[in-house]
Amino acid sequence: MPLINLKNVKKIYQQGEIEVPALRGIDLEIEAAEFSTVFGPSGSGKTTLLNLIGALDKPTTGQIKINGSTINEMDKNGLATLRRNHIGFIFQSYNLIPVLSAYENVEFALRISKGGKDQGDSEKVESILDKVGLGDMLTRKPNELSGGQKQRVAIARALVKEPKLVLADEPTANLDSKTSQEVLDLMLKMNQELDTTFIFSTHDPLVMEYADRLLEIKDGNISKDERR
């Protein structure tokens, strides 16, 4: 059974009396352990698609199943539980908690996934921060970090709970080429060792080189689906 299944998914936003279609009938299956990239021009529906797959929103019509759960039928608590337990997010805007250090931002995500329990998290948190190159910046708060460093904290936060699915919106946008490659190597390793499914939204050719599946979106439809 696919990890993700979309059937005739449409998303329409209402702007006053005007309906704005973002997705026009998406059919898509993504298996566990895929390393996929969604690309297309601005306004094509990339972010909307990731938001729906991430259970951050519901479709106007159609059906979405994530890890066997139909999100159309879930209430807010059910969607929150699905996101907490099975999905990691990497946002272009970082979404770090400004009053927490790099270590605390990552630890907080891990604690939430465990229902608030402390089960010897420190070694795991320090290890993932070291892997993304921030082992010597554990105590720094977001306003003491560069854009690239903030992105690495966001990546560590998404990976630390070892989710089934990671959704990454332009994850290399604020990184130099060397760091981008290091971060992608880390995510690819996690993909291969833990069967974590990754879906990227990006314009970065480097990310597209790493992907084993390219999904192009134009005008709310998948116009290209290429496996490698």
Tens of pLDDT, residues 29-85: 999 999 999 999 988 999 999 999 999 999 999 999 998 889 998 999 999 999 988
Fold topology of 32-58+75-227 = Rossmann fold (3.40.50)
pLDDT in tens, 150-189: 988 998 999 898 899 999 988 888 788 888 888 888 889 8
Model confidence band, residue 99 (pLDDT cutoffs 50, 70, 90) = very high
pLDDT at 119 over 80: no
What average pLDDT does this structure show over 97-110? 94
Whole-number pLDDT of residue 118 = 63
| C-beta separation of 156 from 177 below 8 A | no
Instruction: Give residue 107's pLDDT band: very low, low, confident or very high (50, 70, 90).
Output: very high
Predicted confidence (pLDDT) per residue in 182-225, tens digit:
888 888 988 988 889 999 999 899 999 999 999 999 999 999 99
